[in-house]
Amino acid sequence: MSASTSTRPIADRTRTFPSISHSVTTGSGNQSGQRERAGAINLVWSWIGLLTFCGYIGMYPQLSKLWEIWMTDPLRSIGILILPTSIALLIYAWRQSGWELRGSWWGLLPVVLAYAPIISARRLEFFWIHGDFKLNFIPSVFPICLYTGGIILLFAGPRVLRRAWFPLALLLLLQPVPEVFVRFLDLPMQSLSAHIARSFANLLGFPPTNTEMLRLMFAPDFGMFIAPGCDGMRGAITLGYGALILGYLKRLSLLRWFAYVVGALLLGHLFNLVRLCALVVYYRVALGHAFLQNSAKQADYVIGALLFCVAASLFWLVIRKESETGTTEVSASSSEALLASARERTRWRAAVLTIVVLVGAVLTIRAIRMSSEYLAWAMSRGEINTTELNSRMPAQVGEYRLVRAWQQQQAGTLVLETAAFEKGTSGEIQLGVWLAPYYHSIQASLTTHGETPKAKVVAQPFSTAAGRTVPFNTALYDDGVTDTLTGDTLCSPSSCQSSRNKPKDGIHLAITRIPDRTPPGERVFPIFFKMQIPHADSGSEAAYKEMSIECEDFLAHLDFAQLSRNFQ
């Protein structure tokens, strides 16, 4: 009596949802019926899987942007592993619930909201802005998380949705390193890592002031060179995400989970500093040995890989003893009526979802076609040979003559055309036109390289050719060796403005229209100028004034309407 009483609560709980029956039955009729039921359930699962996959077509704008980030940014490339990991953890959570099918019609709401940007060509923005700093409270990948959560709620039900909270939250980290993280942690860590490597070299009596050490640490022909970018951020981020996922699987307490993630990040940076010091030792031994010098890059990979494996192993030894909660027991059988009812409800939900997915897919395919046409037009411009592209820059600007021109590529795509102009013995002035179909700022680019402006002026007007005034966002940089003045503007054949429209400082909630592709002939190009002179001790204000006068002399003879027209 006591045994049957103790098992009843488990049986009652597991009878509330259908599962595939694996009970042993007798008789050919029962076996045939069981096969038919299993076939029907498998058909339902196939339908759900196909619908879910097709529904991601509606996430094309977000997924294409993510793919571009993953393929071009080494720091954020780990995001390509987060999507399959999240999906695997979702399946794991659903399996732990016995493939429960107690869906709710409320799941259609987040699915429709996920498709809202592609259907309405509008998006909801909620952000805080202060100066050049912008913090988005609604990440760009939110529709992916919303759609996936809607599918779980629609078919599996709220209980599985609660169990799958972590995989869904992990989808919000598909762009794994926010810009604010780079600005406030990555850049300072770069300087700290380079400083520690140099200090260690001094400690070994191998100061980086001699010619051999400078060639060793900063010359690519020697192999992997120690530079400010060697801060271990990628290794630390990888270990941090590993700790985050392991903590979820091991069901750690919140405090211990947080401690392990922070510890993994710190461990990644610590072992990177060990790597840099090991490289200094290797370089010291390698000097005078051609074979070791030629193998410096491979040695760096070997040292880094070994240290990463040691760090991961140490972390695993610490966390592996944590207990894991037991899995839910699933009944081996379910009532025929409950199975039939669940299949019927699931089919109706799948039928309605099919309509929603088809609407989203049609609109998305139309958007993809328009983007493809635009990309084909943009690529047709990229097929122009460099000689013709250079000819689109003016050969003479007043008394300044063109001395050289060059291009810059990103991931095999031409993105920048730059030309240098000189007048007599005056300093060189560079003029650049950003060709890629997205916004660019030379000041933002210098910021990501650790450069901090000494002075900035927003919308400083400069007189240009044909009596036209063009506003520039200017900034002065001083590294102790050279003074650099830069200016940014946005120009089309009809007008110029210093920057994109920027909201006032504060918290903003707005519904904004997703901009359409600008038709050929009306494109707005980011254009910049850049001037460098030897550092002077007269101060930033004097240097800014001196270079501004010379740049204004150059810009006074430059027709920005014609320049932007040349690159349409």
Crossing angle, helix 233-249 and helix 296-319, to 10 degrees? 20
pLDDT grade for 7, boundaries at 50, 70 and 90: very low
Residue 283: both structure tokens together = 């370089």
Higher-confidence position of 189 and 556: 556
How many angstroms separate the Cα of 559 from the Cα of each of 457, 486, 505? 22, 18, 34
Contact (Cβ atoms closer than 8 angstroms) between residue 85 and residue 245: yes
Q: How far, in Å, are 258, 310, 528, 563 from residue 397 at the CA level? A: 59, 59, 15, 11
Q: What is the rounded distance in angstroms from the CA atom of residue 22 to the CA atom of residue 17? A: 15
Work out the pLDDT band at 168, boundaries 50, 70, 90: very high
Angle at 183 between CA 177 and CA 187, to 5 degrees: 100
Interstrand relation of 496-497 and 482-491 (parallel, antiparallel or unpaired) = antiparallel
Is residue 74 within 8 A of residue 234, CB to CB? The reply is yes
**Sequence ranges of the domains in the chain:** 30-176+331-379, 186-319, 386-566
Residue 297 is predicted with a pLDDT of: 60
pLDDT in tens, 531-565: 988 887 777 788 888 889 999 999 999 999 889 88
What pLDDT does 150 receive?
Answer: 92
> How much is the pLDDT for 190?
65
CA distance 343 to 322: 39
Find the range with the poorest average confidence among 9-23, 128-142, 409-423, 433-447. Answer: 9-23
CA 200 to CA 178: how far, in whole Å? 31
Residues 461-495 have pLDDT tens digits of 998 987 889 999 999 998 777 889 999 999 888 88
Q: What is the pLDDT of residues 264-301, one digit of tens each?
A: 888 887 887 788 778 777 777 776 666 666 665 666 67
CA R_g for the chain? 30
Q: Both tokens of residue 425? A: 């013995």
Reference 435, options 457, 459, 409, 453; nearest CA is 409
Mean pLDDT of 122-147: 82
pLDDT tens digits for 79-89?
Answer: 888 989 999 99
Q: What is the pTM of this model?
A: 0.62
Residue 163: closest CA among 213, 97, 103: 97
